[in-house]
Amino acid sequence: MYLKWFSINVLLAAVFGAFAFAPYQYVFVNEAKTWTEAQSYCRQNYTDLVTVNNMKEMKNLNTILKDKTTSSVWIGLNRGNTGRWHWSLGDSDLYHNWAVLEPNNYLGQGEYCVEVYGFAGTWNDDTCNKMYYFMCYDETMTNTQLYVYIQQPKTWRDAQSYCRQYHTDLASVRNQTENQLMLNVTLSSGVSRFWIGLFNDSWQWSDHSNSSFRYWRSDQPNTTTSNENCTAVSMADQGQWLDVNCNTMNPFVCYQNKLVLVNQTLTWWDALRYCRENHRDLVSVHSEEVQLLVTVVAQKASSEYIWLGLHHNCFFSCWFWVTNHTVCFQNWAPGNGTGREDCGVVERAGALESIGGQHWVSLPKNQQLNFICSNY
Ligand SMILES: *[C@@H]1O[C@H](CO)[C@@H](O)[C@H](O)[C@H]1NC(C)=O
Ligand SMILES: *[C@@H]1O[C@H](CO)[C@@H](O)[C@H](O)[C@H]1NC(C)=O
Ligand SMILES: *[C@@H]1O[C@H](CO)[C@@H](O)[C@H](O)[C@H]1NC(C)=O
Ligand SMILES: *[C@@H]1O[C@H](CO)[C@@H](O)[C@H](O)[C@H]1NC(C)=O
Ligand SMILES: *[C@@H]1O[C@H](CO)[C@@H](O)[C@H](O)[C@H]1NC(C)=O
Ligand SMILES: *[C@@H]1O[C@H](CO)[C@@H](O)[C@H](O)[C@H]1NC(C)=O
Ligand SMILES: *[C@@H]1O[C@H](CO)[C@@H](O)[C@H](O)[C@H]1NC(C)=O
Ligand SMILES: *[C@@H]1O[C@H](CO)[C@@H](O)[C@H](O)[C@H]1NC(C)=O
Ligand SMILES: *[C@@H]1O[C@H](CO)[C@@H](O)[C@H](O)[C@H]1NC(C)=O
Ligand SMILES: *[C@@H]1O[C@H](CO)[C@@H](O)[C@H](O)[C@H]1NC(C)=O
């Protein structure tokens, strides 16, 4: 289980990082709609209202919006009922080191941010507008110096802005070793407490993804129990976010996954028809980048193999992609695809292994498998 989780994250890192090859595309829709109407529009015509996962994606979004003449644009974040803990940097919320009887949201006064007690290293929830020193996280530094201690008192939100401007973000702490590493940075200063990147909120994304990334203008969200339950990018504020009444009419940004795993089991011909009716086509894996994306999407399959848009032509004795490209990039499993194919009763098509090496195998087209459609 851990290994699987690990490899997916490494793959995602490769997909997002090394290849600069986003697995989705943004679509700006220049029609004023309420947030709920915008959500329906995106879900019917694309994947969903846009989710923003990090600063890099926020910059991409701003690039798309920069020549638009509107003042506010809906994104997929809206207020839910139950708060939970998030790391500012977006890490999974796995390790905590709360002090005894914490967190307690003392007197119900809204303790939504987290400080570390110097020396003890235990954590406490506190109201976010208090002014404390704070700990930034800097991914450009070496493993033993992830943390930069800033000895200027700031509110949690201003500390977050500072860390994002000069380092990476407010500190994330993923285990006891990192907690100690962070404490060590403060030992000589005798400080009593400092902010880290943990916060509690109930905002959630339309697509149910867990992104903890928030980019509020410093005075936002400014209504706590509220009639302003939806989120808009404010063009006048460099794309920072405002909480807005959901019935306001604004243009919006949808996103669309480039690849979609279809969790039905169909023959190759039916899978091809399904993709052409509901998306663009069965996926053609022209390059290593697409193979990486396909590998990520394939993790959720319920069949052992997954149809690709790859089919064998017995007349030419050759493999083709359904997009009519010849097969240049190859990823066949040993013994598959490269020899003479069985040209008996049923023609053959190419499928991906959903587990293991994610190689391609040659199978008769009447087998029933999950499949991957492309939208581009
Ligand atoms: C999907 O897009 C079409 C045309 O762009 C539009 O007419 C339709 O209303 C949209 N769907 C929803 C649910 O808004
Ligand atoms: C977040 O804060 C809310 C409001 O005080 C509280 O009900 C909720 O339990 C908190 N969430 C966590 C995970 O502590
Ligand atoms: C703590 O977490 C960091 C980052 O995930 C990792 O590199 C390190 O090996 C972990 N240390 C321990 C003792 O788990
Ligand atoms: C913290 O400092 C102590 C004392 O200098 C050292 O023994 C320990 O290894 C340090 N911890 C980490 C995680 O670097
Ligand atoms: C999102 O977080 C919830 C609760 O922490 C967890 O159960 C779920 O698996 C997470 N989903 C994803 C896609 O990471
Ligand atoms: C919240 O901020 C918005 C935008 O600045 C403003 O129009 C609105 O009046 C504020 N609401 C409250 C309750 O302060
Ligand atoms: C906003 O969300 C809160 C929490 O879910 C809810 O209590 C409130 O009724 C919502 N307000 C509106 C106008 O929908
Ligand atoms: C896919 O379908 C199988 C069998 O119908 C089901 O058990 C599984 O939960 C589904 N997976 C997803 C991700 O929908
Ligand atoms: C591929 O080429 C064949 C024969 O030239 C043609 O019938 C078919 O429509 C083409 N398919 C696509 C997706 O362009
Ligand atoms: C094709 O690959 C699969 C999976 O690795 C393997 O089980 C099968 O034997 C291979 N086919 C041939 C003809 O070698």
- Per-residue model confidence (pLDDT) at position 144: 63
With a 6 Å cutoff on the Cβ, whether 223 touches ligand 6 is yes
Which ligand lies nearest the alpha carbon of 301? Answer: 8
Catalogue all structural domains in the chain, each as residue range(s) with its CATH number.
2-255 (3.10.100.10), 259-374 (3.10.100.10)
CA-based torsion, 79, 83, 88, 89: positive or negative: negative
CA-223 nearest atom, ligand 6: 13
Which long-range contacts does 333-341 make (Cβ < 8 Å, 24+ apart)?
333/357, 333/359, 333/360, 333/361, 334/359, 336/360, 336/361, 336/362, 337/361, 337/362, 341/312, 341/314, 341/317
CA-178 nearest atom, ligand 4: 13
Pairing of strands 230-234, 72-87: antiparallel
Q: Cα angle at 298 between 296 and 304, to 5 degrees?
A: 150
CA-339 nearest atom, ligand 10: 13
Among 209, 207, 9, 212, smallest CA distance to 1 is for 9
Among 54, 90, 102, smallest CA distance to 172 is for 90
Nearest residue by C-alpha to atom 10 in ligand 9: 324
Which ligand lies nearest the alpha carbon of 49? Answer: 1
Amino acid at 11: L
The phi-psi region of residue 232 (left if phi > 0; otherwise alpha if psi is between -120 and 50; otherwise beta) is: beta
With a 6 Å cutoff on the Cβ, whether 79 touches ligand 7 is yes
Report mean pLDDT in 10-residue bins for the chain, 376 residues.
41 45 87 97 95 90 91 95 91 90 86 92 94 93 81 95 93 93 86 93 93 90 80 94 95 94 96 95 90 89 95 87 81 88 88 88 96 92
Among 98, 168, 177, 184, smallest CA distance to 136 is for 168
Give residue 110 CA to ligand 5 midpoint distance, Å. Answer: 24
CA dist 44 and 42 (Å) reads 6
With a 6 Å cutoff on the Cβ, whether 91 touches ligand 3 is no
- Per-residue model confidence (pLDDT) at position 10: 46
Residues with CB under 6 A from ligand 4: 177, 180-181, 184
91 — phi, psi (to 5°)? Answer: -70, 160
Site to probe by mutation for ligand 10, drawn from 310, 331, 336 as the one with most ligand atoms within 8 Å of Cβ, is 336
Pairing of strands 305-313, 123-126: unpaired
Q: What is the full DSSP assignment across 312-368?
A: EETTTTEEEETTS-B--S--BPTTSSSS----SSS-EEEEEESSTT--EEEEETTS-
- Per-residue model confidence (pLDDT) at position 326: 77
Give residue 269 CA to ligand 7 midpoint distance, Å. Answer: 48
Give residue 45 CA to ligand 1 midpoint distance, Å. Answer: 6
228's tokens: 């302003």
CA dist 85 and 102 (Å) reads 13
